Amino acid sequence: MSAVLTLPHAARFRVSDLVARALLVLAGVGLAVFLLAPMAAIFMRAVQDSNGEFVGLRHFVAYFATPALARSVWNSLWVSFLVAAITVPAAFMFAYALTRSCMPYKGTLRLIALIPLLAPSLLPAIAFIQWFGNQGALKGLMGGVSIYGAPGIVLSEVFNTFPHALMILIAALALADGRLYEAADALGTRRLRKFFTITLPGCKYGLLSAFTVVFTYTISDFGAPKVIGGTFNVLAVDVFKQVIGQFNFSIGAVVGLLLLVPSVVAFGVDWIVRRRLTANLTARSVPFAPKPRTGFDGLMFAYCALVCLALLAVLGMAAYTSLIQLWPYNLSFTLKHYHYALVAGDYAPAFWNSLKMGAWTAVIGTVFVFSTAYLLEKTRGLGPLRPILRLLALLSMAVPGLVLGLGYIMFFNHPSNPLNFLYQTMAILAISTVVHYYTSGHLTAVTALKALDDEYESVSASLKVPFYKTFWRVTVPVCLPAILEIARYYFVVSISTLSCVVFLYAPHTILAAVAIMNMDEAGDVGPAAALGTLTVLASVLVCVLYALVTNVFLTRSQAWRLNPEKS
Amino acid sequence: MALTGVSLSVAQGELVCFLGPSGCGKTTLLRIIAGLETQSEGRIVQNGRDISTLPPASRDYGIVFQSYALFPNLTVEGNVGYGLVNRRLARAAIRLRVSELLTLVGLPGSEGKYPSQLSGGQQQRIALARALATSPGLLLLDEPLSALDALERIRLRGEIRQLQKKVGVTTIMVTHDQEEALSMADRVVVMNKGALEQVGTPREIYEQPASPFVADFVGRVNVLNAVSLGGGRYQVGRLAIEGGNGFDVGTRVRLYLRPEDRIVEGNLDGESNRVSGLVAKVEFLGGHCLAEVKVPEMEGQALSVFFSLNQVRELGICEGAHLELALRPDRIRVFASAS
């Protein structure tokens, strides 16, 4: 029977192996050019003067010798720490209510709590100014303390990071083994003791992970401190001021590197923690199912409702501001801010550009992320390249958007770079966003691919079917929910991202988040709020579309997914 | 898992089982044959063609995995015809071949179903049909039955063997289940720690284990510490036992004897290796019992002895009963002590 196999046959399939390797190398080159090279450019720039001469650590010395700049390091650290110290317990209690109580409306509450993910990070800052600023509706509550500066930054970042911490903590709390609680009950253990001996130890890695994520997000966020920070300097704003305000790229690179340090440390911590997290639950575990307890459930509901109300109040203020003439003098309804933001104003193309960029990022990002994850997980050969690629895929998370953007200017704006043509195009905005948000998409893809049988590719090879056919006929259809999820994620993050693109936009490629920042700076709060509201609405629309597609279309076209009665 | 000194040839149409504990290298060996893993040295030759360095797709085999690896989004027809579509066969020809294969594996008419609508055993059969669809010269089965429940496993054992004989395809199967290996294989390859311990027919493996490992791993066995007295006689405690091959006088050895290799009924007067003892424990195993017999003359070494339920009744086997038996000298295997 082996005579069936003729030589050209054999040769053809070795070609398919070569194709897989070539594509993997290509993915590696892509990540090297668009992640590693810009980072290397920053490192180089930090130790060079403006003529490209090596000056060692002189810029670092100069930076720390400037008291105002050096103070930013301390400011950034304590503000981020404070935000994490507030957000993590608040999100933990919320997650606890969702996973461990029988309160009503869990789905709605969870949905509302995740809404901040859809807003650009500077939108809450604008809303908080409306609430607590000099003309604020609730200024009296501040007791004479100005919202501009640390208080405003902390409030805005708590709003921004709440859903990030919540998602991690829900996952950690959902991992609980119900048998442990039953064993404790059988031993007559009191509630509080169960909480401290089972619940907390069970999610300590989740707590740590949430803490590092919130900390990293806050220290590298640029939008909120730019809007509400006032004279309170933080590292992220320093980078911006040095580069955009003073064209001091070397000091900008130094600050960028400083910003990278806590992120990389947090990344390391998170990486170690996540590896432990998975070992928590074994196949024998039984999920914990809460029992109704009227008092406790009511208390939990009250807390969650309060949090949701607060979150909605922030967004609601932004929406309200966009619909009235001028706070607090003329509260009559108007659509003029929308008209200004979309049609009449200087930044009219911004919203459409953002939508276009979001679509590009969703397409390019999803194809690149999923294909690369597939090649990494399911093809063979090129052993040494694989761990490097995996590390790069995770490392993109550790690079703050501002730092990545700075690296992009230094690398791609260099006249001798053959990729210089990318500079000031929509493409570079999309590419930088794909790279900046690579990790999350990558992890989604890897999780979906790992759930597939490892032997599909082996079976295909034994049946003489080249890998790309199996990829197209089996892997893509089976992973379609994950692929759509990655696309949705990319769209949502790219229409609200600011830090990554703030250095890279050109007048004709200006994006919504940048326009919001500029309009706010010019005092056009109404149009800024209008554009922010539109961004949130666009994201909500995409999320609704995604839910419709996955719930209606997928269940109909993918009949095999349902597990109908055994025939 | 490192493999060393593996040399094996498989005849056309033969079913060979790789048997061994987990981690013995049997799956690694199968995956090397499939080209899914690469050997650092050594050659693999199939039908006179050296396939040692060929990628999996250039080799000629069909494979069935423990997990079946059926494509969940394709129907049974799509799965079984998966390798045929790529051969640019006419659609009608593919359909015909698929229905032929489904009849062969006993699931005619299931073309339109999805894998999730089938039971484990049915999925296994579809995986088998898919592997056979392209008429490969070699069929590789990687623990094909271990994900099934006990009854289904025993039924499929027979079916796979029958199918394999009917198609006449050379087959290599990996299993850790000795019963499976003994009942299905033409030849069994017992592996341990990356090396071949013994290659032989199921009966050879069971009756003439080539090493203490094989004797221990396949079936139950009594192990008695002894010292050679020369001339095929061995001192066990105060007893002299006859059996097996010769060792130099004074060599420390171990005697291996299966629980059923004893004579208990009829007149034992003419038999050699007569021992007597007290039944210390009777373990009920369904169709038969395993009795632990304390033999005072063996100084603390107990014997496990099989009895059918009838024998238990007729000979009055119960805890505390006195028992006379003779150990069959022709069945005692002797190996030098490890240390």
Sheet containing B288-294: which strands, arranged edge to edge?
Answer: B262-263, B322-327, B274-284, B288-294, B302-308
- Cβ of B63 within 8 Å of Cβ of A459? The answer is yes
Provide the number of structural domains found in chain B.
2
Contact B134 A463 (CB under 8 A): yes
Query: What is the per-residue pLDDT for A2?
Result: 35
CATH of A65-333, one of 1.10.3720.10, 3.40.50.1950, 1.10.1740.10, 1.50.10.10: 1.10.3720.10
| ipTM of predicted assembly, 2 dp | 0.77
Q: What is the pLDDT of residue A164?
A: 93
CA-wise closest residue to A84 among A202, A204, A182, A209: A209
Instruction: Enumerate the residues of chain A whose CB falls inside 8 A of the CB of residue B123.
Output: none
Q: Three-class SS of residue B117?
A: helix
Q: How far is CA B301 from the centre of its chain?
A: 29
Give the domain CATH number at B256: 2.40.50.100
Question: Residues of A with CB below 8 A from B47's CB?
Answer: 2
Q: B82 vs A460: CB contact, 8 Å cut-off? A: yes
φ and ψ at B38, to 5 degrees? -115, 135
Say whether B57 and A16 touch across the interface (CB within 8 A). yes
Which range marks the domain in which residue B309 is found?
220-336
What does the pLDDT read at residue A9?
A: 42
Do B153 and B71 belong to one domain? yes
- pTM, to two decimals: 0.83
Q: Is B119 in Cβ contact with A462 (below 8 Å)? A: no
What stretches of A303-418 adopt beta strand conformation (E)?
324-326, 330-333
Tokens 């066969």 correspond to what residue?
Answer: B89
Res B270 pLDDT > 80: no
Cα gap A355→A467, rounded to integer Å: 35
Chain B: residue whose CA lies nearest to A479 = B73
* Residue B5 covered by a domain: no
pLDDT of A430 reads: 93
- The CA R_g of chain A, rounded to the nearest whole Å, is 25
Which residue in chain B is spatially nearest to A469 when comparing CA positions?
B86
Q: Cα angle at A203 between A197 and A207, to 5 degrees?
A: 120
Are B83 and A464 within 8 A, CB to CB?
Answer: yes
Other C-beta atoms lying within 10 Å of the C-beta of residue A31:
22
Question: Inter-chain contact A560–B61, Cβ cutoff 8 Å?
Answer: no
Strands B274-284 and B239-242: unpaired
Residues in chain A within 8 Å Cβ distance of B82? 459-460, 463, 465
List pLDDT tens digits, range B207-229: 889 999 999 898 889 998 888 88
Residues B118 and B75 in one domain: yes
Quote the tokens at residue A3.
Answer: 């005579």
Residue B168 and residue B309 in one domain: no
Of residues A469, A478, A562, nearest to B86 (C-beta) = A469
Compute the distance between CA of residue A128 and CA of residue A124 in angstroms, rounded to an integer. 6
**Chain A / chain B CB contacts < 8 angstroms:** 120
Chain A residues within 8 angstroms (CB to CB) of chain B: 1-2, 4-5, 9-10, 13-14, 16-17, 453-456, 458-466, 469, 473-474, 477-478, 558-564, 566-567
pLDDT for position A285: 64
Write out the two tokens for B222.
């009594």
Provide the CATH number for the domain around residue B36: 3.40.50.300
Residue B74 Cα, gap to closest chain A Cα (Å) = 8
Task: Report percent pLDDT > 90 for chain B.
Answer: 31
**Optimal mutation site among A6, A463, A560, interface B, most CBs of chain B within 10 A:** A463
Give contacts of A465 with chain B, Cβ < 8 Å: 82-83, 85-86
Bridge pairing between strands B45-46 and B49-50: antiparallel
Nearest-Cα residue of chain B relative to residue A6: B58
Cite the beta strand spans of A187-320 per DSSP E: none
- Up-side HSE of residue A431: CA atoms within 13 Å toward CB? 19
Claim to verify: residue B44 and residue B193 sit in the same structural domain: yes
pLDDT band at B339 (very low <50, low <70, confident <90, very high): low
What is the DSSP secondary-structure string of A160-223? HHHHHHHHHHHHHHHT-BHHHHHHHHHTT--HHHHIIIIIHHHTHHHHHHHHHHHHHHHHH--H
Same domain membership, residue B206 and residue B74: yes
Please indicate, yes or no, whether residues B229 and B183 belong to a single structural domain of this protein. no
- pLDDT (tens digit, 9 = 90+) per residue, B149-182? 888 888 889 999 999 999 899 999 999 998 899 9
Residue ranges of chain A with per-residue pLDDT less than 50: 1-12, 564-567
By Cβ distance, the residue of B34, B86, B137 closest to A464 is B86
Token pair for residue A168? 């991690």
Nearest CA in chain A to B135: A1
Nearest one of B203, B189, B201, B223 to B24, comparing CA atoms: B189
Contacts B118 to A, Cβ<8 Å: 566-567
- Distance (Å) from the alpha carbon of B77 to chain A's nearest alpha carbon: 14
Q: How far apart are CA A227 and CA A159, in angstroms?
A: 15
Q: What is the pLDDT of residues B84-95, one digit of tens each?
A: 887 777 888 899
In-domain check, residue B307: yes
Which residue in the set B67, B68, B114 is minimally distant from A560, CB to CB? B114
Which pairs with CB-CB distance under 8 Å and at least 24 residues apart come from A296-302? A296/A101, A297/A101, A297/A102, A297/A103, A297/A104, A298/A103, A300/A96, A300/A97, A300/A101, A300/A103, A301/A97, A301/A101, A301/A103, A301/A104, A301/A105
B321 is a domain residue: yes
Residues in CB range of A3: below 8 A, 6 or more apart: none
Question: Residue A19: CA atoms inside 13 Å, Cβ hemisphere, count?
Answer: 11
**What are the backbone angles phi and psi of residue A447, rounded to the nearest 5°?**
-60, -45
Q: What was the pLDDT predicted at A10?
A: 43
User: Of A496, A262, A173, which Cα lies nearest the Cα of A358?
Assistant: A496
Each domain of chain A, given as residue ranges in start order, spans 65-333
Residue A177 has phi, psi (to 5 degrees) of -95, 115
Nearest to A566 among B60, B72, B117 (CB): B117
Domain boundary among B188, B215, B242: B215
Q: Are residues B29 and B98 in the same domain?
A: yes
Chain segment A550-566, per-residue pLDDT in tens: 887 777 666 666 554 43
Peptide bond into A201 cis (omega under 30): no
Q: Indicate if B76 and B188 belong to the same structural domain.
A: yes
Nearest CB neighbour to A453, from listed B67, B135, B136:
B67
- Residue B115: list chain A partners with CB under 8 A: 560
Residue B332 belongs to a domain: yes
Using the 3D structure, point to which of B166, B196, B215 is the last residue of a domain.
B215
Contact A478 B57 (CB under 8 A): no
Give the one of B47, B58, B117 whose C-beta lies nearest to A10's C-beta: B58
Chain B residues with CB-CB distance to A566 below 8 A: 117-119
| pLDDT of A277 | 59
Name the residue among B60, B85, B130 with its Cβ closest to that of A2.
B60
In chain A, residues with a C-beta closer than 8 Å to the C-beta of B138 are: 2
Enumerate the residues of chain B whose CB falls inside 8 A of the CB of residue A474: 71, 73-74
For residues B176-195, b (16+ Cβ closer than 10 Å) or e, as one string?
bbbebbbebbbbbbbbbebe
CA angle A516, A519, A522 (to 5 degrees): 150
CB contacts of A463 in chain B (<8 Å) are 62, 82-83, 86, 130, 133-134
